[in-house]
Chain A
């Protein structure tokens, strides 16, 4: 089953670039014989380029030329051009790119209404072509940021489009939310306008905050530079590492941060690509983690951040991995799931971990977590045999938890600060199709969402009375 990523905007494409790089590395590590297999086919086509770039797909046998199944969309050329000149240039062809030159000016309306309208047909056509090459399309991934214009506006336009054209295919969105100190003044407008689209058209959203990525990168740097573990950390096991070892983490901090998000996506899809004793497909993630349609925001955490060089892993260290997944500083947004309410939780483990390890840790951690009354045993688990490169095992935790609420509340507050003064509104309203109601509807949608989380939180410490069972006449 195929997952099709769409990288939209600058952030989306930078993350996307890291993703393809790491995906190739992961498959190269596992696929020693160079045979094009089922696992590879979920992200790559195998093209016979002897007759040129437009050659036919080869479904079996040796790898000829791997082409990523993807669409790269940006309204500026800089980032996409860099990708096409870099080591990944052969992985993409021009039919997968949609670019313009002037950018969206950090304006959601420009991205969504203006470019959306302009490029609709082009996007649909390229989407259909790409989908034609897929044996079985299971899922779309949109990778974008919320605070700008292209990723946020055009990205959510694409989301709508996907729902119209392929209503049965799942839509997963990885969204990078702006921090309070974001240098784009209008990022709250862009984010809230985009949130409405995510509320209504996404199946699952994985929110990411740069602050969290930054903190994780710093934490790792400190570990390495402290000299305590420096020489014993396996270099390629860093969750922040790239394949090219020439660049240090300090030189390109965004690369390190983007690698984390790329690893998130790799781990999320690992069980769909590789074998294991308890498979966890993407449609299962959506099924188990979304109890009500609008509550589809999942907080993610990845552990371990690095692996020490010694191979023998006593189970104590394995258990530490599970504990870390629930700690505040491993979450990819500024949130504390442990002190809030779980609606559902998924654990996807990779590597040499068995069901007894999973169960032992669930039993151990359960008492310190709060689960909603109707889902006390709300755990979804998966075991994938193939670990990520450089690790013997790893864990991805996805939580549907009310700890996302503060992020949304802050976003709304920042929005209201601007909106009350009508600051910068004219930049948006001058775009065809934009009205004041777009803003009021968007913030209303966000308020409703926050209210749903409030209602759930209110049940947290309440009495637990189970509804009475059906009575059968004897």
Chain B
């Protein structure tokens, strides 16, 4: 099954480009430390998922590029073509001239309806090109105007036009200390609207990735390109082919469906976080050796202790004792412990079949709604990813993003109380009522995740 990627706005297009580059680099890299047959299956599965083959032979990304100003798309198309290995379809993009001005209302209420037909036509074409459509993946930021506002509108249109398809939004959360002054407003509006049409939100936070670049990747002068490459690596480790069940089975044909089935048992809880380990500069890879028990021990503690990365983990945090009488909504519960609804661990590389994942099936990590065997899933492949001999990725539906979400809503509310900037949104048809609705939706989500 194939996934159609929709790249929205500057961030969405820059990240999307890095994702496809990363997938290709992985395919072309020195052999993935597995059998030739395994390698062939992997390559075929990846290509079917993300690319189609042109008559002249080269892989073309299954993607639609959308932006309200031309510079970024133009750059993205030419960078891909210059790679010499893959490219975008020259006709699968839509752009305008004047941008959205960081105004969610402009993206959602003006550009959306105005360009709906043209954009949906492109998406329809791309969907029809797939033998079997496995769903849509949108990449966008929530801080600006196009990715956020137009992105929310397009998501809603996708839901209407493809009611039975899976829709996953890959959402980039901005740096806490401003890239855009109205970023919190744009974020609140985006999240509340996506919650209604999307199946799940897979989140990357710029602050977290930045720390990874600084402390793990040892990059001195970190650029957005560096940040985007780490994001792409993490996303690649989720979406490159894996075997969902025990060994011997084929590569999964339905990655989005499998992901959602594993992680989103209830529509009120759709916010997914990503953690990936190990993370290091490419030139250090050859000198490092990891053991699966070591990696998984770190990954588990990262989950429990809300760690952003594998350095600075708080090892003091422990799950609450089993069968204790602490009710779930009481304030006695250790606040720094991250309660999960469901987790998915993806393992790639040498000796995956030997890995013991029992520690992730510990019921004390989870809410009581699901059986522990339903709350935890593992996907594996012996095929190493992107030159990492062993790598483990965690996709988690838990309280990871509760605090950042609460912070965004808090700052937005603070600004809203003074009515600052509201006139800019009202100019394009978003009223105070609409803001209040969005705040209400998100306070509900926050409350739901808090009382896990």
A-to-B contact residues, CB < 8 Å: 1, 38, 135-136, 138, 275, 277-279, 281, 283-284, 286-293, 315, 344, 354-357, 359, 362-363, 366, 373-381, 383, 466-467, 469-472, 474
Query: Are A283 and B101 in contact (CB-based, < 8 A)?
Result: yes
B177 to chain A: closest residue by CB: A377
Select one of B71, B98, B99 contacting A38, CB under 8 A.
Answer: B71
With CB as the reference atom, state the residue of chain B lying closest to A285.
Answer: B101
A279 pairs with B69, CB closer than 8 A:
yes
Residues of B within 8 A of A379 (CB): 177-179, 181
Q: What is the CA–CA distance of A292 and B426 in the complex, to the nearest angstrom? A: 12
Q: Are A374 and B414 in contact (CB under 8 A)?
A: yes
Q: How far is the CA of A355 from the CA of B172 in the complex (A)?
A: 16
Whether B181 and A1, one on each chain, are in contact in the complex, defined by CB atoms closer than 8 angstroms, is: no
One of B191-199, B233-241, B259-267, B438-446 at the interface: B438-446
Q: Check: B82 CB closer than 8 A to any chain A CB.
A: no
Q: Say yes or no: A354 contacts B222, CB within 8 Å.
A: yes
Question: Complex Cα distance A362/B220, Å?
Answer: 17
At the interface, yes or no: B132 with Cβ under 8 Å from chain A?
A: no
Contact call B69/A277, Cβ cutoff below 8 A: no
Assess the B417–A283 pair: CB atoms within 8 A.
Answer: no
Q: Which of B182, B219, B443 has the most CB of A within 10 A?
A: B182
Contact B177 A363 (CB under 8 A): yes
Distance to closest chain A CB from B39 (angstroms): 35
Residues of B within 8 A of A287 (CB): 101-103, 145, 182, 421, 424
Cβ contact within 8 Å between A279 and B177: no
Most A C-beta atoms less than 10 A away, residue of B221, B411, B417, B439 = B221
Q: Provide the residues of chain B in CB contact with A374, threshold 8 Å.
A: 414-415, 417-418, 420
What sequence of 0s and 1s flags, for each residue 48-78 of chain B, a beta carbon within 8 Å of any chain A beta carbon? 0000000000000000000001111011000
* Chain A residues, CB < 8 A from B221: 315, 354, 356-357
B224: A residues at CB distance < 8 A: 277-278, 354-355, 383
Chain B residues with CB below 8 A from A138, complex form:
97-98
Cβ of B353 within 8 Å of any chain A Cβ, yes or no, is: no
Q: Check B179–A278 contact: CB distance below 8 A.
A: yes
Given A356-B210, A469-B413, A474-B451, are A377 and B176 also a contact pair (CB < 8 Å)?
yes
Q: Does B5 contact A (CB under 8 A)?
A: no
Interface contact B99-A283, CB-CB below 8 Å: yes
- Listed by A's residue number, 26 A-B pairs whose Cβ atoms lie within 8 Å are A38-B70, A136-B97, A138-B98, A277-B14, A278-B224, A279-B10, A279-B71, A279-B72, A279-B99, A283-B100, A284-B180, A315-B221, A354-B223, A356-B220, A357-B221, A359-B177, A359-B210, A379-B177, A379-B181, A380-B179, A467-B417, A469-B410, A469-B413, A470-B440, A472-B443, A474-B329
B189 contacts chain A at the CB level, 8 A cutoff = no
Q: Which residues of A contact B98 (CB under 8 A)?
A: 1, 136, 138, 281, 283
Contact of B177 with A362 in the complex, beta carbons under 8 Å: yes
Asked whether B99 lies within 8 Å of A281 as measured between CB atoms, the reply is yes
**Cα separation A288 to B421 with both chains bound (whole Å):** 8
What is the CA–CA distance of A295 and B439 in the complex, to the nearest angstrom?
Answer: 27
- Nearest A residue to B144 via CB reads A284
**Does B227 count as interface, using CB distance less than 8 angstroms?**
yes
A-chain residues with CB within 8 Å of residue B74 when the two chains form the complex: 38
Looking at chain B, what size class is its interface with the partner chain?
Answer: 35 or more
Kindly state whether residue B25 has any CB partner on chain A within 8 Å. Answer: no
Chain B residues whose CB sits within 8 angstroms of the CB of A136 once the complex forms: 96-98
Residue of A whose beta carbon sits closest to that of B213 = A356
A286 proximity list for chain B (CB < 8 A)? 101
CB within 8 A of B69: which of A281, A291, A359, A381? A281
CB contacts (< 8 Å) of B175 on chain A: these are 359
CB of B114 within 8 Å of the partner chain = no
User: B28 at interface (Cβ–Cβ under 8 A)?
Assistant: no
**Pick from A344, A359, A474: contact of B181, CB under 8 Å:** A344
**Cross-chain contact B14 with A293 (CB below 8 angstroms):** no
B103, A380: Cβ atoms closer than 8 Å: no
The answer on a CB contact under 8 Å between A281 and B101 is yes
Name the residue on A nearest B99 (C-beta).
Answer: A281
Min CB distance B367 to A, Å, is: 16
Cβ distance B401 to chain A, nearest Cβ, rounded Å: 18
Interchain CB contact (< 8 A) of A470 among B176, B219, B443: B443
CA of A379 to CA of B174 in the docked complex: distance in angstroms? 12
Q: Is B115 an interface residue (CB 8 A)?
A: no
Assembled-state Cα–Cα distance A279/B40 (Å): 41
Inter-chain contacts of B222 with A (CB < 8 A): 354-356
Q: Are B71 and A289 in contact (CB under 8 A)?
A: no
| The 9 residue pairs across chains A and B that have the minimum distance between CB atoms | A283-B101, A136-B97, A379-B178, A356-B222, A291-B420, A467-B417, A277-B224, A374-B418, A354-B223
Contact A375 B181 (CB under 8 A): yes
CA distance A275 to B419 in the complex (A): 34
Given A135-B97, A279-B10, is A375 in contact with B415 using a C-beta cutoff of 8 Å?
Answer: yes
Max chain A Cβ within 10 angstroms of own Cβ: one of B70, B178, B444 = B178
Min CB–CB distance B191 → chain A (angstroms): 15
Q: How far is the CA of A85 from the CA of B125 in the complex (A)?
A: 57
Check B447 for interface membership: any CB of A closer than 8 A.
yes
B214 contacts partner chain A, Cβ-Cβ < 8 Å: yes
Asked if A469 meets B423 with Cβ closer than 8 Å, knowing A38-B71, A287-B182, A354-B222, the reply is no
Complex Cα spacing A284 to B148, Å: 14
B451 to chain A, nearest CB (A): 7
Residue with the highest number of chain A CB atoms closer than 10 Å, among B10, B98, B411, B439: B98
A375 contacts which chain B residues (CB < 8 A)? 181, 415, 420
A471 to B447, CA, bound (A): 9
In the complex, are the beta carbons of A355 and B424 less than 8 A apart? Answer: no
Docked CA distance A377–B100 (Å): 22
Contact of B439 among A1, A293, A470 (CB under 8 A): A470
Q: How far is the CA of A467 from the CA of B417 in the complex (A)?
A: 7
- Chain B contacts with A in 201-223, Cβ cutoff 8 A: 210, 213-214, 219-223
Residues of A within 8 A of B220 (CB): 356
Measured CB to CB, the closest approach of chain B to A356, in angstroms, equals 4
Q: Are A356 and B14 in contact (CB under 8 A)?
A: no
Most B C-beta atoms less than 10 A away, residue of A38, A375, A471: A375
Closest to A400 in B: B181
Which residue from A38, A373, A472 sits with its C-beta under 8 Å from B440? A472
Bound-state CA distance A278–B414 (Å) is 26
Chain B 271-310 residues near chain A, CB threshold 8 A: none
B413 near A288 (CB under 8 angstroms)? Answer: no
Q: Does B333 contact A (CB under 8 A)?
A: no
Which residues of A sit under 8 angstroms from B129, Cβ to Cβ?
none
Taking a contact as CB atoms under 8 Å apart, the answer to whether B411 and A377 are in contact is yes
Does chain A have a CB within 8 A of B225? Answer: yes
Are B102 and A288 in contact, CB atoms less than 8 angstroms apart?
yes
Can you name the residue of chain A whose Cβ is closest to the Cβ of B223? A354
CA distance A377 to B181 in the complex (A): 7
Q: How far is the CA of A288 from the CA of B176 in the complex (A)?
A: 16
> Is the CB–CB distance between A380 and B410 below 8 Å?
no
Which single residue of chain A is at the shortest CB-CB distance from B423?
A293
B177: chain A residues at CB < 8 Å are 359, 362-363, 366, 377, 379
Query: Do B410 and A1 touch across chains, with their CB atoms under 8 A apart?
Result: no
Known interface pairs A38-B71, A278-B10, A470-B440. Does A288 touch B180 (Cβ–Cβ under 8 Å)?
yes
Q: How far is the CA of A315 from the CA of B222 in the complex (A)?
A: 13
Query: What residues on B are CB-neighbors of A278 within 8 Å?
Result: 10, 179, 224
With a CB–CB cut-off of 8 A, which chain B residues contact A355? 210, 222-224, 227
Contact partners of A466 in chain B: CB under 8 A? 410, 413-414
| Contact status B423-A381, CB under 8 Å | no
Q: How far is the CB of A105 from chain B (nearest CB, A)?
A: 39
Question: How many angstroms between the C-alpha atoms of A360 and B447 in the bound complex?
Answer: 34
Within the complex, which residue of B10, B182, B417, B418 is in contact with A288, where a contact is CB–CB below 8 Å?
B182
User: For the complex, what is the distance from the CA of A381 to the CA of B178, rounded to whole Å?
Assistant: 8
Most central of B214, B418, B440 by chain A CB within 10 Å: B418
- CB proximity of B262 to chain A, nearest CB, Å: 28
Min CB–CB distance A29 → chain B (angstroms)? 19
CB atoms of B182 and A1 under 8 A apart: no
